[in-house]
Structure 1
Amino acid sequence: MEVYLIRHTTPHFEKGLIYGQLDLNLADSFPEEFELIKQKLPGKFDKVYSSPSKRCTQLAHFLNPSFETDSRLMELNFGEWEGKTWDTVDQDQLQIWMDDFVNILVPGGESMLQMSERVKEFWQEMSLLSVEKIAIVTHAGVIRIILGIVRKLELNTLFEIKVEYGELVVVRL
């Protein structure tokens, strides 16, 4: 099975915004970014999954209008920090989280460990399917966790994996 992990294209937001699960619109550059993605894709997918976030479903729709959404593919829940900027959240709380983002919950949100559990559950279910090609349209955090599972990496090293907007990574199972 080939799994195409596709990060959503550039969202429309102000620099520094914390937007984990905020439902942002895509930037006006979506058509151009989609064309670049499309050039790297096989003709057809047996299944297309998407995070329910608008920035993912818009891309998933173009891949296959009958895509399925799964909330386990959502980005990290930043709780009380959603919609704020990094420089406006409590800097002491931010430092505590940054020192151990794997285990520390964002106030009102989730930890990387909690996020990884939901992503692992999805990945295990999906890997049991008997299909040839799957597309998963999701977020950088989810892609990092899946790559961490495949490469057997520790959660605290996943931010070393760079995943750009519109980036596509193929995993063969």
Structure 2
Amino acid sequence: MEIYLIRHTTPVLERGLIYGRKELLLHAGFPSELEIVRSKLDPDLDIIYSSPASRCTTLAKAIGAGFVTDSRLQELDFGEWEGKTWDTVDPAALQAWMDDYVHACTPGGESMMQMYARVKSFWDDLGKTAHHKIAVVTHAGVIRLILSMVRGIALTEIFDINPAYGEVFRIERSISR
């Protein structure tokens, strides 16, 4: 099984914005970023999975006709922090989350462990499909978690993985039945 993990292309956003689940427009450079992404993919994909966020579905649709959205591919839910900037959230709450982001939830959001469980569920199900060439259009957080599974990286070290906008990671995986 050949899997392409693809981070969405560059969104329009203000510096420091917390935007896990927030809908954002794509940058005007999308057409050129799309061509770079396409050049890194096998042209004969069997299926494309996408996060339901429009910044992902726009890219998925442009890569190929027909794609399947899966809510397990959504970015971390930052809850009450969504749409705020890092410098405007309560400093004590921010520090508590940063000290243990693996287990701590943002106010009204989810923890990294909760996100890991849903991403692992997707990854486990993906391994049971009959598809051989798969594209997954998603977010940096989801890519970090999948790469942590594949490479055996601890969740406390996942921020060492920094997927760029439009970056493609190719993974070979055996089918598990």
Shared fold per TM-score greater than 0.5: yes
Deviation, 1:65, is 2.3
Alignment of 1:137-152 (within 5 A): 137-152=137-152
SS in structure 2 at match of 1:87: helix
The residue correspondences of 1:55-66 to structure 2 (distance < 5 A) are 55-66=55-66
TM-score of the aligned structures, taking structure 2 as reference length: 0.96
Aligned twin of 1:97 = 97
**Counterparts in 2 of 1:126-137, with a 5 A limit?**
126-137=126-137
Q: CA deviation at 1:135?
A: 0.1
CA distance, structure 2, for counterparts of residue 40 and residue 72 of structure 1: 24
TM-score (norm 1): 0.98
Equivalent AA in structure 1 for residue 45 of structure 2: F
Which residue in the other structure is 2:37 paired with?
Answer: 37
- Indicate the residue corresponding to 1:119 in structure 2: 119
Find the counterpart in structure 1 of residue 164 from structure 2: 164
Give the equivalent residue in structure 2 for 1:28.
Answer: 28
Structure 1 equivalent of residue 77 of structure 2: 77
- Equivalent position amino acid for 2:86 in 1: W
CA distance in 2, matches of 1:57, 1:121: 20
Q: State the Cα RMSD in Å.
A: 0.6
| 1:18 maps to 2:18 | yes
Letter in 2 for 1:159: F
Runs of 4+ in structure 1 displaced over 2 angstroms? none
Shift of residue 153 of structure 1? 1.5
Q: Which runs of 5+ in 1 are unaligned?
A: none
Q: What whole-Å deviation, never above 9, does each CA across 1:137-166 have from its counterpart, x for those lacking one?
A: 000000000001111221111000110000
SS in structure 2 at match of 1:83 = coil
1:50 aligns with 2:50: yes
- Report what 2:106 is aligned to: 106
Structure 2: segments with no counterpart, 5+ residues: none
Q: Which residue of 1 aligns with 2:9?
A: 9
Amino acid at match of 2:125: E
User: 1:114 & 1:100 partners in 2: Cα distance?
Assistant: 13
Aligned equivalents of 1:99 and 1:115: distance in 2?
17
Alpha-carbon distance in 1 for matches of 2:163, 2:138: 11
Cα offset, 1:168, TM superposition: 0.2
Letter in 2 for 1:47: I
* Paired residue total: 173
Any idea what SS the aligned residue of 2:159 has?
helix
The amino acid of 2:155's aligned partner reads: L
Q: Secondary structure at the match of 1:158?
A: helix
Q: Which amino acid aligns with 2:105?
A: L
Q: Deviation digits for residues 84-130 of structure 1, max 9, x if unmatched?
A: 00000001100000000000000000000000000000000011112
